[in-house]
Structure 1
């Protein structure tokens, strides 16, 4: 009996000890789980930060140039006419230094962009600031509707939206520079695209109409209706075709009558021929119309590199404060020679007054480029620009050719 009681007592002690050990082990497990959980909290915070950083994207490029101009001479005056030409002769300068900040909280629904320029002036300016909202109309995203509002590229033609970091030539065509100052405007743009079987995209935009390169008050539009743009682009394999239409109005302020006296002989007397009169002019409102067609063809039949042919034609009336008829076009050939070398040529014509009775306004420009890819982020280009004025009896063509060396850095 005593032996049984002793055995029972020992069993109860062992059970009690095992239970105590189990409780202690459970406590240790709980403590360890708490420590692991406390370690996970900062990790989860870091994971959230990393996910947010993935939504933020920084890109940009810089163009450093040296221009050697035929028209170069000491002083500020020279014979350069084209807006793409350095108007101060031979110079080292930074043509473009740009930084783009993009944020995509959800690539399927929205995107927000700030685009800054630190170019010739040295002061930062905002080139683009817009929000873009996406609406896929089917799960495969073959049909997509998107709305852009803010300040963005004018959705006309091909050349405007083709980045300067990719373009063979230092500047866009003469027509584009004259018709769309700054290449950007403020407004809203609606796009609808279909990916299959033939990719095509249409867009309709309402814009201020002044652009961003016309002066300190270029954000103001003195016409009641906004400018309208319609564009359709089609793509089949490596062939692209686009049609663009732009309609707006330009308001020109009235000019009051005035007179200016210049005392040429400094005799303090108003003599004949020393007074100049400015006749009064009424304000005027005229239509601003641009029509365009563009095409791009890409081939890969040569053994040493790809070939690209691009072209665009502009026609309409209303340039700046003049309601004259204009036309212009460019033809652009680009050939990759090896993975390191390439060349390009562009013929660029611009006539701001295309009436038959008007002579001496047209400029034909030839651009020759040889490029070398230093690495994936750096490209060095040699460019020779030959503008030629429309011949008029008794007038000589200006000496305004440009030799340009440019280094492009992209990140």
Structure 2
């Protein structure tokens, strides 16, 4: 008997094989897709990790300092953030608004190899560059590095002490006049051992060449370069409760004399007075700019918290103009109109240069109140731009002396409260005193005391 196979049964049996085949393939391809997805995820993760790894040494920081100030009189001249407007004795202002970026490339031994930094100051007065420099480290001995670009001058303590850390709202008058904006363009070689076990780890030696005009100058107006050197000892434990640091500094430079008139102070029967040297050979000579400085910082650990004493003294010679003892940031010339063939003709003529011998200093007393969260601070500083004249000798008829020769001293004091590590409140008052002179404006002490109330936010 011939067997008859049901078409329906054959049909159903074939589909079982087809379904099984498709199922096996689906499982296979699903496993392959899952494996590919995992590989892709791993690849992406590795890519993200490599990006983070590349930028792990990139750091952003910054701070802003909004403040309110009240002056003793309207239009008061001030080194606490600039002069007041003629008809104003109080103001809100954004003293500083800094944004800083730093990147460090590490050597195999986790020591720096190359780094760079830039910092901007953003306030209601505009945007200015503050730092823009790079450093190259040698990694054989790990002792030296070279800095090039725009960076703080290596002189003294206060000039290099960051405004985000400094207890007083501003640097002293001396620091502001001698080192306006603190920074300059140049290059510097530093001896600064990086290894913790190095026997000379606490010693730093810096030597550099700079334009001398500072960052406030649009360009360097002469070919002369200024040398600055500093030898410093980093904070070192003298005993368990005493930590000492300090440095000595030297500045040797100058500025070109564009005119022939050079004034120097001499003693005469009528008193000290500026006398002029008008030799044609003065044109093109370098007016001497030379400073010597020393500073020290002592921390004393006690039951009341940390007590700190700081001091710095600078003496030297400073070229300037009749109305200012500050080295000019722009070419010290003026336009002179002469008549040639009945036609006006303008030419640049160098301003007279005044040579002055100066000295100045500041002293700090800082006391924590149990913890570093609260602190009281006292500061005294003076700047004598012309130590060869005193009191009523300034402004004496025929002496050639001006406001630029007046000695000022400032006693400042305040209270600091660190609300958090990122927020600081400062209440500060400056008693500013000038020596009495024969100048009408400064015949007696000018009313230019300043109250400053500041909040600083930093990250």
Q: TM-score, normalised by structure 2?
A: 0.71
1:184 to 2:183 alignment: yes
Asked if the contact 1:71–1:80 (Cα under 8 Å) also holds between the matched residues in 2, the reply is no
Asked if the contact 1:97–1:117 (Cα under 8 Å) also holds between the matched residues in 2, the reply is yes
Residue from 194, 199, 202 that aligns with 2:205: 202
Partner deviation per Cα, 1:125-155 (whole Å, 9 max, x = no partner): 21111111122444xxxx5211110000111
1:241 to 2:246 alignment: yes
**Take 1:380 and 1:409, find their aligned partners in 2: how far apart are those partners?**
9
CA RMSD of aligned residues (A): 2.8
Deviation at 1:181? 1.2
Correspondence for 2:301: 300
Correspondence for 2:84: 87
**Take 1:370 and 1:127, find their aligned partners in 2: how far apart are those partners?**
28
**Take 1:94 and 1:24, find their aligned partners in 2: how far apart are those partners?**
67
Correspondence for 1:98: 98
Partner deviation per Cα, 1:139-189 (whole Å, 9 max, x = no partner): xxxx52111100001111111111001111111011110111110000101
1:75-224, aligned counterparts within 5 Å? 78-80=75-77, 82=79, 84-88=81-85, 89-106=89-106, 108-121=112-125, 123-138=126-141, 143-194=142-193, 196-197=198-199, 199-213=202-216, 215=217, 217=218, 219-222=219-222, 224=223
Deviation at 1:56? 1.6
Partner deviation per Cα, 1:296-324 (whole Å, 9 max, x = no partner): 111111x2311111111111101425321
Residue from 367, 383, 390 that aligns with 1:350: 383
**Take 1:28 and 1:133, find their aligned partners in 2: how far apart are those partners?**
54
**Take 1:244 and 1:312, find their aligned partners in 2: how far apart are those partners?**
11
- In the superposition, relative to structure 1, how do residues 24 and 83 fare at CA in structure 2: closer, same or farther (>3 Å)? closer
**Take 2:97 and 2:83, find their aligned partners in 1: how far apart are those partners?**
17
Deviation at 1:30? 6.4
Unaligned runs of 5+ residues in structure 2 are 1-24, 238-242, 262-277, 320-326, 328-352, 395-405
Partner deviation per Cα, 1:239-263 (whole Å, 9 max, x = no partner): 112010011111233389xxxxxxx
Asked if the contact 1:101–1:113 (Cα under 8 Å) also holds between the matched residues in 2, the reply is yes
Deviation at 1:45? 1.2
1:56-71, aligned counterparts within 5 Å? 56-71=58-73
The count of residues paired between Structure 1 and Structure 2 equals 354
Correspondence for 2:264: none
SS at match of 1:41: helix
Residue from 406, 415, 418 that aligns with 1:370: 415
SS at match of 1:124: strand
Unaligned runs of 5+ residues in structure 1 are 1-22, 73-77, 257-278
Deviation at 1:371? 1.0
**Take 1:110 and 1:310, find their aligned partners in 2: how far apart are those partners?**
33
**Take 2:291 and 2:246, find their aligned partners in 1: how far apart are those partners?**
17
Asked if the contact 1:191–1:204 (Cα under 8 Å) also holds between the matched residues in 2, the reply is yes
SS at match of 1:118: strand
Deviation at 1:397? 0.6
SS at match of 1:300: strand
**Range with greater deviation from structure 2 (303-312 or 189-198):** 189-198
Correspondence for 1:396: 444
Asked if the contact 1:137–1:145 (Cα under 8 Å) also holds between the matched residues in 2, the reply is no
Q: TM-score, normalised by structure 1?
A: 0.79
Asked if the contact 1:85–1:402 (Cα under 8 Å) also holds between the matched residues in 2, the reply is no
Asked if the contact 2:80–2:169 (Cα under 8 Å) also holds between the matched residues in 1, the reply is no
1:317 to 2:320 alignment: no
Correspondence for 2:403: none
Residue from 1, 19, 39 that aligns with 2:41: 39
SS at match of 2:212: coil
Deviation at 1:206? 0.7
Correspondence for 1:327: 359
**Take 2:431 and 2:83, find their aligned partners in 1: how far apart are those partners?**
13
Deviation at 1:103? 1.5
**Take 1:298 and 1:26, find their aligned partners in 2: how far apart are those partners?**
73
**Take 1:191 and 1:120, find their aligned partners in 2: how far apart are those partners?**
36
Correspondence for 1:9: none
